[in-house]
Amino acid sequence: MRVSWDRLIAFVQAEAPSFIASLKGVSPEDIARVEDEYRVRLPDAYRRFLLLMGEDSAGFHLFGASQNQRFADLVAQLPEASYPVRQYFKISYAVDPSIVSQFDHFLDLERREGADAPVVMFEADDEFSPEAVQDRGFTFLEQAYRRLFAQVADDRLPERTLFAIPNPVTEHGRLSIDAVVAVLEQMRFTPAVEPATRVTCLRRNDIWALVAVHLEGRGFGVSFWSSERRALDAVTDQLLIRFPDATVQNRGRLQRR
C-alpha cells in the first residue's frame, strides 16, 4: 500500500498541529501559471506540497538545510538552457558554496507514476548530460514521508540512534524491507502511517522507528527516536541478535533551540 499525501498530512497535523499552522503555501494560480508557461503537469503530490508549504516550510527541508526548496526562488531560475525542463523539473537547489558537489534535485516527469514521480539529482550548472543524472532511490512522496516523520520525531523525542543493516547478495537473495519491518512488528512496533514502497514508519509506545531502503536495496537504515536512551539501547541490542552484521550509530541527544 502506498501512503497518500492526505494521510501523511493528517498524521503530521495530529502530532504537530503548531507546525502545520505555521506553514504558508503558494496559490493554485501561481502553480498553474508555471505549468502553462513551461508546458508541464506537475505530479499531484508535489502540487499539494506547494499548496501547503511552497512559500514557507517553517524550517522543514526536503533535502537538508543546504538546499532551497521555495517555489518562487525555483521559478526565478527558469528557464534553464542546459537541461530539458519538461522532463526534469527542479524542486530544490544547492545554496551552500562550501559543498564541493552542488547537486540540485528534480522530479523526473517522464517516469511519473500517477500522483508521484521519482527524485533525481545532477549539477545543473554544468553542461547537461543524461549520464550525469543520479536517481535518489525515492519518489517525491517517499522523500516527503521520511523527512516529515523525522521532523516530528526530532521535535518530540530527543534521543536518536541509527541502525544500519547491510544487504549483500547471498544464495537466498536479498533481504526485503518487508522482512525488516516484520522483525520490528514481532517486537510490537505498529505502523504509524500506511507504508510506502521504500519507507515504513512505526511506533511502540514512546519509541518511533523509520525504516528506509538505502543504496538501491543493498542496505537498510532504521532510525529510532525515544525520550530514553535505555529504551533505544534495549531495542538495538535485540535487533543485533537478528542482524549481527548491522552497525549502531548513537546520534546523541538533540540540542533544543
Sorted by where each starts, the structural domains of the chain and their CATH numbers stand as 5-141 (3.40.1580.10), 157-249 (3.30.310.50)
Query: How far is the C-alpha of 71 from the C-alpha of 26, rounded, in Å?
Result: 8
pLDDT of residue 97: 72
Query: How far is the C-alpha of 179 from the C-alpha of 196, rounded, in Å?
Result: 14
H or E segment to which residue 122 belongs:
strand 118-122
All three cell numbers of 191, joined, read 505502523
Query: How far is the C-alpha of 115 from the C-alpha of 113, rounded, in Å?
Result: 6
pLDDT of residue 79: 74
Q: Do the strands 219-226 and 159-166 form a parallel or antiparallel pair, or are they unpaired?
A: antiparallel
Residue 190 burial (10 A CB sphere; 0-12, 13-18, 19+): exposed
Torsions phi, psi for 99 (to 5 deg): -80, 130
**Could you read off the pLDDT tens digit of each residue along the chain, which spans 257 residues?**
466 899 999 999 999 999 999 999 999 999 999 999 999 999 999 999 999 999 999 999 999 999 999 999 999 988 766 789 889 999 999 997 766 667 899 999 999 988 999 999 998 777 888 898 999 889 999 999 999 999 999 999 999 999 999 976 555 667 889 999 999 999 999 999 999 899 999 999 999 999 999 866 678 999 999 999 999 999 999 999 999 999 999 866 544 33
**pTM, to two decimals:** 0.90
Query: How far is the C-alpha of 35 from the C-alpha of 38, rounded, in Å?
Result: 5
H or E segment to which residue 13 belongs:
helix 5-15
pLDDT of residue 257: 35
DSSP label at 194? Answer: -
What is the CA angle 182-226-4, rounded to 5?
A: 55
pLDDT of residue 256: 39
pLDDT of residue 77: 85
User: Contact, 32 vs 38, CB < 8 A?
Assistant: no
DSSP label at 217? Answer: G
Query: How far is the C-alpha of 146 from the C-alpha of 196, rounded, in Å?
Result: 10
